[in-house]
Structure 1
Amino acid sequence: MPEVVWGDGLVAGLNRNINLKQKKHMGLLDRFFGSGSNKEKKKIRAQFKNEKYFKKEIKRCDEWMNNDKEDFEKYIKKHGKLMDIHYVNACKIRLQKIENMYSVGESPVKLKDSYKEVLDYFLKGYSENYKDNLLALEIVSFCKLLNFNQKELNKIIDFINKWENNSKIKDIYKPCSLLYYLLDKEVIKRKSYKPIEELYQITQQPKSEAEISIKKYLDNWYSMHKDEPWYNSHLRDSGYSGYWAWEVAAVVKVKGLDDTGFKDNPYYPYDMVHWEDKK
């Protein structure tokens, strides 16, 4: 019957149009709410800035890093070799990139791959003028948090030993007690930058007491660093890579503390401590 054939065709055509509209509608919903079949969207970890900002910062770091090779070659050609400050600055810009990667939501696994170059430049940056405890502390903290092997840690220990035995710098500029604690070496006690010294004192407390102290320490962590060049950097157009207490996270991991009471603190990089928990 022609009418039936025509009617079936029309119905089929209408159904196809409805299905296409439904698929289009579902596609729009997926864009807004996500889909189980798509990759999980990264969660921005840092405060104050969005994904666009951190990606721009990562690109800025990449451009700086790409210029390193050419600049270094020119300097070596003119002066014969690089200065220690070249290596230290190369280390710092790569470290800044990693901080931005963490802030934008990248996996610590990906950070570990990028960190190898950071460590390499840091180790090459030693000189008799070296006295930066904050940089060394961040380097060691990342090594502990990313589970680098003892071979890599031994390279840092060699660096620390040379620094410790350097008679040309004052005692206050030598490796801080917290560095020795994190590296599981015999601690040389000395006065240092107040926030570092205070954190070291917490490491000497029993676990239950240290967990309470760490919570209070994190509550004041940002204000304790008001003299640092990165303080309030989120108010600038560039240069902010997140505010993260890497050294606190390293202490929590090394000492085996329960971080339940402060895991949501905005300065505590929780994922860096627990990224291997699900393995």
Structure 2
Amino acid sequence: MGFLNKLFGGSNTKGKRAPNQRAEFKDARFFEAMLKKKEHNIIADMETREMLEKEGKLTAYHNWMMAFDYLDKFQVEYSMGHSIEQCYEVFIKAAEWYAGGWEEDSTYADMLEMVAIGYLLEIPDENYEGIVRTVEQSDAGSDYPEWKPDGILWFIINGRKARRPQPDAVIWPSLYQSLLDLTKMNKADAEVAMKQYLENWYELHRNDPWYDTHKKELAYTGYWCWEAGAISKIMGLDDTSYKDSPYYPYDLVHWKP
């Protein structure tokens, strides 16, 4: 275990950071290994998908799996410091697969990531519409009894193109109610509230599977609150007071395609 920690940038290893590294934890060697792992996953899952397609056993889940692989790769590349232009191309592939990956048990977490990152990257309408359709499908027919039109998802979607009344509730109040509340504030109050939200964000997600992955082998892809970035951009907030938060994707918020 000690050897692996040394090789892959364990939590106590302070190796050389990747050039322009954005993520708080790990080092260049770790992220190079993670990138290879994600690229291997893409190849392996594509081979599985092609085999299942020949056997007539392909389902929407296999499209989602490809989308998840590319979303993971996007996050690794962003965390390790690749240019946003490079990351953009990876995310487009995630969006293309995601459009055909909806099932009744599709999850909120990756839906929120796709909606928020797609907004920040200003991806083409046809790609963003594919993401929006998955939200609409879940609103109409999710297997989760707690599912309802979600205020955070629709605030971001409507921020790009208004298309439906803004929901006043969120699916997961303990995680997102305070974020929805700040969307109703004036800018000055919202900026204070966003800073506070980001300070609490990591611990709010302590039950999520990615929590503390920087302490594990080849699991950490970075900790990013994409939705905070999207909402800051939509509201035109002055993010000076929280731009240095380790969870805030500052350069992506201010990137222009």
TM-score by length of 1: 0.79
Equivalent residue, structure 1, for 2:91 = 115
| Identity %, equivalent residues | 31
Equivalent residue, structure 2, for 1:183 = 157
Do 1:153 and 1:183's aligned partners in 2 also have CA atoms closer than 8 Å? no
Runs (4+) of structure 1 exceeding 4 A deviation are none
- Cα deviations across residues 107-156 of structure 1 (Å, max 9, x unaligned)? 111111111110111111112333x1111110011111111133333333
Q: Does 1:150 align with 2:125?
A: yes
Do 1:133 and 1:175's aligned partners in 2 also have CA atoms closer than 8 Å? no
- Look up the SS of the partner of 1:165 in the other structure: helix
Seen in structure 2, the aligned counterparts of structure 1 residues 55 and 160 have a Cα distance that, compared at 3 Å, is: same
Matches within 5 A, 1:101-250: 101-130=77-106, 132-166=107-141, 169-170=144-145, 172-184=146-158, 185-193=164-172, 194-250=174-230
- Cα deviations across residues 30-87 of structure 1 (Å, max 9, x unaligned)? xxxxxxxxxxx83111112001111110110001101122211222233x14222222
- Normalized per residue, the structure richer in helix is 1
Equivalent residue, structure 2, for 1:38 = none
Segments of structure 2 that go 5 or more residues without pairing to the other structure are: 1-17, 159-163
Matches within 5 A, 1:78-97: 78=55, 80-97=56-73
Do 2:149 and 2:170's aligned partners in 1 also have CA atoms closer than 8 Å? no
Distance 2:169 2:63 in 1: 27
Segments of structure 1 that go 5 or more residues without pairing to the other structure are: 1-40
Seen in structure 2, the aligned counterparts of structure 1 residues 167 and 268 have a Cα distance that, compared at 3 Å, is: closer
The one-letter code matched in structure 2 to 1:105 is: G
Distance 1:168 1:247 in 2: 24
- Cα deviations across residues 170-206 of structure 1 (Å, max 9, x unaligned)? 2x22442111110114222334222222211111111
Q: Does 1:66 align with 2:36?
A: no
Seen in structure 2, the aligned counterparts of structure 1 residues 201 and 173 have a Cα distance that, compared at 3 Å, is: same
The one-letter code matched in structure 2 to 1:87 is: N
How many pairs align?
A: 234
Do 1:91 and 1:121's aligned partners in 2 also have CA atoms closer than 8 Å? yes
Equivalent residue, structure 1, for 2:75 = 99
Distance 1:147 1:158 in 2: 17
Output the aligned Cα RMSD. 1.8
The one-letter code matched in structure 1 to 2:46 is: K
Distance 2:48 2:125 in 1: 33
- Look up the SS of the partner of 2:99 in the other structure: helix
Structure with larger Rg:
1
Q: Does 1:77 align with 2:51?
A: no
Distance 1:82 1:257 in 2: 44
